[in-house]
């Protein structure tokens, strides 16, 4: 994208990343969940937020359903709007990571190039987490009845049915949420966070 | 703005506001600095971030100069783009406040209606802080040489010179940064935060 701003000089924050991390006992970064509708993104994100908080982490969920009521309320579901949606989420996630938080994003984010842009925005600690439950499983679950609506033609551009999902090529973690329980999935996620975010005790 | 999203249900966070506030010892909220270019917004914001952090607060600056390289890199300085710029900042500030942070925003934010929208997005703990140094003082300081450029016609729509600044009508705090020192201004800001954000010790 072309930058429209000129006469702009970035200013350094008054607090360094390292100071924030030391205070929190962990580094900041992004856990980017991606997968088909019904693959468990929101369920896992909010439960992970709760478990990480209980374990002393500063954790916060950015969720598609919530953000579309605020920051991204001007965007629909066309390919261009989906890309802009994910671009903004990637930039906001990067800000949260910069504030030393473990930010958990729960967006279908079907396009590979959009996820690559989010990774680039985060400048560092970015973990793509692929919830790999397949279409058959997700459609059978259909927790919000959206697959049914999409099959009846009542939702246009529905990922998995009438819009593509491009699976990650080298995610930091893959969880087959069609094959294991929520509890088992959470265990894998928490282990991953402990390994990649926790600082050694001083 | 019309909401373009349908089939969207907001999901509750896994951690309540109160749980976050108790952990931090303070509530989350927004310190919205507003004032002319050169009124001291960035200087005070970053120094306040550092002082609040040192005092145990979770504080983070959202700054015009920095955000325009990322989230708002697609926006220029026309009235419509300024409004969209501030709309997004207000929504992001609300997310940070929701994560229990004291978020300090440092934007000219010249339009009253835009600041009102940001207040509405924050749903609660929002503090409009007017840095009231007048045009003569700010233009004399001209820390980035932008007033000079604007007077030479090299910047269009420059607030105070060729674009309007609408002063706040009932800000939570007014600081005449043209009349007192940075140190005195910081003292007023920190007192304001201690009074409005700190929780009683349990």
pLDDT for position B10: 47
Closest CB to B91 among A1, A58, A71: A71
- Sheet of strand A59-63, all strands in order from the earlier edge strand to the far edge: A59-63, A102-106, A29-34, A126-131, A173-175
How close B171 comes to chain A (CA, Å)?
A: 24
Give catalytic residue positions of A.
109
Q: Is B121 helix (H, G, I), strand (E, B) or coil?
A: helix
| CA dihedral sign of residues A185, A53, B119, B10 | positive
Do residues A122 and A90 touch, judged by C-beta distance below 8 A?
yes
Would you call A7 and B92 a contact, using CB atoms and an 8 Å cutoff?
no
**Mean pLDDT, residues A152-170:** 94
How much is the average pLDDT of A116-142?
96
pLDDT tens for residues A85-128?
999 999 999 999 999 999 999 999 999 999 999 999 998 899 99
Whether the Cβ atoms of residue B74 and residue A1 lie closer than 8 Å to each other: yes
Kindly report the backbone phi and psi dihedral angles of residue B141, in degrees, each rounded to the nearest multiple of 5, phi listed first.
-65, -55
d(CA B34, CA A98): 23
Closest alpha carbon to A193 in A178, A167, A172: A172
CB contact under 8 A, A74 and B1: yes
CATH of the domain at B61: 3.40.50.300
Which residues in B lie closer than 8 A to residue A64 (C-beta atoms)?
8
Answer yes or no: are the C-beta atoms of B136 and B41 closer than 8 Å. Answer: no
Q: How distant is the Cα of A62 from the closest Cα of chain B, in angstroms?
A: 8
Does residue A165 sit within a domain? Answer: yes
**Confidence band for A75, pLDDT divided at 50, 70 and 90:** very high
pLDDT at res. B95: 96
Separation of alpha carbons B60 and B75, rounded Å: 23
- From the list B42, B109, B132, B185, the catalytic residue is B109
The whole domain housing A57 covers: 17-197
* Smallest Cα distance from A89 to chain B, Å: 9
Residue A202 in domain: no
Opening angle at CA A23, ends A19 and A28, nearest 5: 75
A41-54 helix and A182-197 helix, angle to the nearest 10 degrees: 50
> Between chain A and chain B, how many beta carbons pairs sit less than 8 Å apart?
146
Contact B76 A5 (CB under 8 A): yes
Which H, E and C letters describe chain A, residue by residue? CCCCCCCCCCCCCCCCHHHHHHHHCECCEEEEEECCCCCCHHHHHHHHHHHHHHCCCCEEEEEHHHHCCCCCCCCCCCHHHHHHHHHHHHHHHHHHHHCCCEEEEECCCCCHHHHHHHHHHHCCCEEEEEECCCHHHHHHHCCCCHHHHHHCCCCCCCECCCECCCCCCCCCEEECCCCCCHHHHHHHHHHHHHHHHECCCC
Average pLDDT value for chain A: 92
B63 contact residues in A (CB cutoff 8 A): 11
pTM of the model: 0.92
Cβ-based neighbour number of residue B65 at 10 Å? 16
Nearest to A68 among B8, B61, B121 (CB): B8
Residue B88 lies in a domain: yes
From B180's Cα to the closest Cα of chain A, the distance in A is 21
Residue A106 lies in a domain: yes
In sequence order, the 6+-apart residues with CB closer than 8 A to the CB of B136 are none
Note the helical H segments in B57-160. 64-67, 79-98, 112-122, 135-141, 146-151
**Sequence-separated (6 or more) residues with CB below 8 Å from residue A166:** A110, A111, A112
- Gap between the Cα atoms of A172 and A10, Å rounded: 31
User: Which H or E run contains B105?
Assistant: strand B102-106
Q: Which residues of A touch B71 (CB under 8 A)?
A: 88, 91-92, 95
A48 chain-B contacts, CB cut-off 8 A: 14
Residue B132 DSSP label: -
The count of structural domains within chain B is 1
Residue A10 within a domain = no
Taking the C-alpha atoms of residue A52 and residue A67, their distance in angstroms, rounded to an integer, is 21
Contact B73 A3 (CB under 8 A): yes
The mean pLDDT values, 10 residues at a time, for chain B of 202 residues are 48 83 95 97 96 96 86 90 95 96 96 97 95 97 95 93 96 98 98 96 68
Does A185 map to a domain?
yes
Is residue B109 annotated as part of the catalytic site, yes or no?
yes
The number of residues making up chain A comes to 202
Q: How high is the ipTM of this complex?
A: 0.91
Q: Does the pLDDT of residue A8 top 60, yes or no? A: no
| Interchain contact, B4 vs A81, CB within 8 Å | yes
* Residues from chain A contacting residue B49 (CB–CB below 8 Å): 13-15
Contact state of B7 with A155 under an 8 Å Cβ cutoff: yes
Residues of chain A in contact with residue B47, where contact means CB-CB under 8 angstroms, are 14
Residue B107 lies in a domain: yes
Looking at residue B8, what is its pLDDT? 47
Helix%, strand%, coil% for chain B, nearest 5: 45, 15, 45
Establish if B193 belongs to a structural domain.
yes
For B104-130, write each residue's pLDDT tens digit: 999 999 999 999 999 999 998 999 999
Which of these, A35, A8, A26, A1, lies nearest to A130 by C-alpha position?
A35
Spatial distance between the Cα atoms of B37 and B56, rounded to a whole number of angstroms: 30
Query: B153 in the Ramachandran plot: left (φ > 0), alpha (ψ -120 to 50) or beta?
Result: left
Check A7 against B144: CB less than 8 A apart: yes
Closest among A197, A163, A148, A160 to A48, alpha carbons compared: A197
How far A33 CA lies from chain B's nearest CA (Å)?
A: 16
Tell me the backbone φ, ψ of residue A126, rounded to 5 degrees.
-125, 130
Cβ separation B95–A91 shorter than 8 A:
no
pLDDT at A7 over 70: no
**Minimum CA–CA partner of A117 in chain B:** B70
φ/ψ of A72, rounded to 5, equals -110, 25
- Whole-number Å distance between alpha carbons of A195 and B198: 33
């Amino acid at each position: 994208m072309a930058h429209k701003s000129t006469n702009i000089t970035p200013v350094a924050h008054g607090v360094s990343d390292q100071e924030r991390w030391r205070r929190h006992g962990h580094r900041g970064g992004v856990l980017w969940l991606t997968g088909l509708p019904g693959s468990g993104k929101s369920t896992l994100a909010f439960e992970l937020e709760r478990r990480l908080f209980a374990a002393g982490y500063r954790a916060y969920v950015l969720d598609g359903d919530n953000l579309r009521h605020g920051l991204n309320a001007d965007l629909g579901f066309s390919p261009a709007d989906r890309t802009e949606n994910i671009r903004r989420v990637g930039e906001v996630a990067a800000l949260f990571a910069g504030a030393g938080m473990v930010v958990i994003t729960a967006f279908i984010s079907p396009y590979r190039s959009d996820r690559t842009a989010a990774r680039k925005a985060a400048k560092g600690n970015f973990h793509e987490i692929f919830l790999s439950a397949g279409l058959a499983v997700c459609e059978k679950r259909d927790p919000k009845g959206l697959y049914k609506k999409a099959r009846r033609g009542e939702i246009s551009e529905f990922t998995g049915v009438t819009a593509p999902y491009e699976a990650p090529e080298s995610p930091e973690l893959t969880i087959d949420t069609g094959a294991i329980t929520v509890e088992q999935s959470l265990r894998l996620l928490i282990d991953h966070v402990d390994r990649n975010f926790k600082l050694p005790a001083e």
